[in-house]
Amino acid sequence: MSKIILTGAAGFIGFHTALRLLERGDTVLGIDNLNEYYDVNLKKDRLKILMDYKNYIFKEGDIADTNFLKQCFKDFLPEKVINLAAQAGVRYSIENPNSYIKSNIIGFSNILECARSFQINHLVYASSSSVYGANKKIPFSIHDNVDHPLSLYAASKKSNELMAHTYSNLFKIPSTGLRFFTVYGPWGRPDMALFKFTKSIIEKKPIKVFNFGNHKRDFTYVDDIVEGVVKVVDNPATINKNWDPIDPDSGSSFCPWRVYNIGCSEPVHLLDFIAILENNLGIVAEKVMLPLQDGDVPDTYADITDLQKDLKYEPKISVEQGIKKFVDWYKEYYEQ
């Protein structure tokens, strides 16, 4: 079993990933700054569950704090790192861009420097489906060019991929970026659609449906995401011996660097998604239909063939099953 530093450990995906690693016997040092982007109590309740494991250590702090992060690496001496710490959210990046520079750029540069200094075996980090930006060709493939982001959040994630490539090239650090597609499930983020819809519908408040409901999203249940993360962590990125500098592949490299899509690969129309939620709640939502928001893309659809081929990744949870699991958790957690 491995010693793993996991940043963003009190976050939605970080919490579920930590649970999986702890249950299989890894020793995990979780790092999180417990910021107030959304309800801190939800983060603390996630941490309470993790702290029951003897092989779990938690440090509160910010990855943008260079000295703090170096001390964590020095004390723990990890073999692998999973960086899930980030300022999330497309829309919030329009309102508060500086927080994205601090966490997603400065923070990630600190992660890379620590990975270099402490010679870790594998760096796995969160990218995002948002990097596909203005691309219209679907499904989105890791082999496609992604040079036209539509938000600073997307640009910061693309930057992470480029920064990691530099360190993989110069210092031979195996690194793998994971482009997550619309993750949902129990213990989810309150700023995301399913959580917001559920809360509003239960409280008999109208829900905002952007792009007049014409979105399609590759909704991916969190357990399927975690399955992909763990498979990737256990298989460090390697050199693509067939990489051609004349016709360069965007998803691999001549150095030990990779990116993967992690999604369900079954896009769901937003109105169908809402209908499934309504059926689980037994309430018909009042809908306020609004235009597409700045920074948003109309559709997402993950091509996951590379992850399937390389690591035998297969998502298992349907959107009907996943929404039910979320609603059951929400009602229990908030005593509805």
Segment 262-284 shows an average pLDDT of 96
Asked, for residue 326, whether it belongs to a domain, the answer is no
Asked, for residue 129, whether it belongs to a domain, the answer is yes
With H, G, I as helix, E, B as strand and everything else as coil, classify residue 257: strand
Segment 73-98 shows an average pLDDT of 88
Residue 229 banded pLDDT, cuts 50, 70, 90: very high
Segment 67-96 shows an average pLDDT of 90
pTM recorded for the entire structure: 0.95
pLDDT at 97: 84
Segment 199-212 shows an average pLDDT of 94
Task: Please check the confidence at residue 184 and state whether its pLDDT lies above 90.
Answer: yes
The Cβ-side half-sphere exposure at 161, using a 13 Å CA radius, reads 26
pLDDT at 95: 80
Q: Nearest 5 degrees, angle CA 7-CA 11-CA 16?
A: 90
**DSSP H/E element including 111:** helix 108-117
Look up residue 209 and give its DSSP letter: E
Asked, for residue 205, whether it belongs to a domain, the answer is no
Task: Please check the confidence at residue 295 and state whether its pLDDT lies above 80.
Answer: no
Residue 294 banded pLDDT, cuts 50, 70, 90: confident
Task: Please check the confidence at residue 335 and state whether its pLDDT lies above 80.
Answer: yes
Task: Say if residue 80 is exposed, middle or buried (CB neighbours under 10 Å; 0-12, 13-18, 19+).
Answer: buried
DSSP state string for 12-26:
HHHHHHHHHHHHTT-
Task: Please check the confidence at residue 297 and state whether its pLDDT lies above 90.
Answer: no
Asked, for residue 290, whether it belongs to a domain, the answer is no
Segment 255-279 shows an average pLDDT of 96
Domain of 306, in residue numbers: 3-187+219-264+301-316
Task: Please check the confidence at residue 90 and state whether its pLDDT lies above 80.
Answer: no
Segment 316-321 shows an average pLDDT of 97
**DSSP H/E element including 322:** helix 319-333
**DSSP H/E element including 287:** strand 287-289
Question: pLDDT, tens digit, for every residue of 130-173?
Answer: 999 999 999 999 999 999 999 899 999 999 999 999 999 999 99
**Spatial CA neighbour of 82 closest among 219, 236, 252, 223:** 236
Question: pLDDT, tens digit, for every residue of 32-47?
Answer: 999 988 899 999 999 9
Asked, for residue 85, whether it belongs to a domain, the answer is yes
Task: Say if residue 193 is exposed, middle or buried (CB neighbours under 10 Å; 0-12, 13-18, 19+).
Answer: buried
The domain total for the chain is 1
Distance of CA 315 to the CA centre of its chain: 15
Segment 192-204 shows an average pLDDT of 95
**Spatial CA neighbour of 4 closest among 104, 128, 156, 115:** 115
Tally of CB atoms within 10 A around 271: 15
Task: Please check the confidence at residue 99 and state whether its pLDDT lies above 90.
Answer: no
**DSSP H/E element including 261:** strand 257-262
Asked, for residue 295, whether it belongs to a domain, the answer is no
Average pLDDT score, the chain: 95
Residue 87 banded pLDDT, cuts 50, 70, 90: confident
Asked, for residue 279, whether it belongs to a domain, the answer is no
Asked, for residue 183, whether it belongs to a domain, the answer is yes
Residue 223 banded pLDDT, cuts 50, 70, 90: very high
Q: Give catalytic residue positions.
A: 153
Task: Give the Å distances, CA to CA, from 153 to 166, 203, 244, 249, 308.
Answer: 20, 31, 30, 24, 27
Rounded to an integer, what distance in angstroms lies between the CA atom of residue 287 and that of residue 298?
Answer: 18
Q: Are 191 and 89 in contact (CB under 8 A)?
A: yes
CATH number of the domain bearing residue 259 = 3.40.50.720
Segment 265-289 shows an average pLDDT of 95
Residue 49 is encoded by which pair of tokens?
A: 């569950």
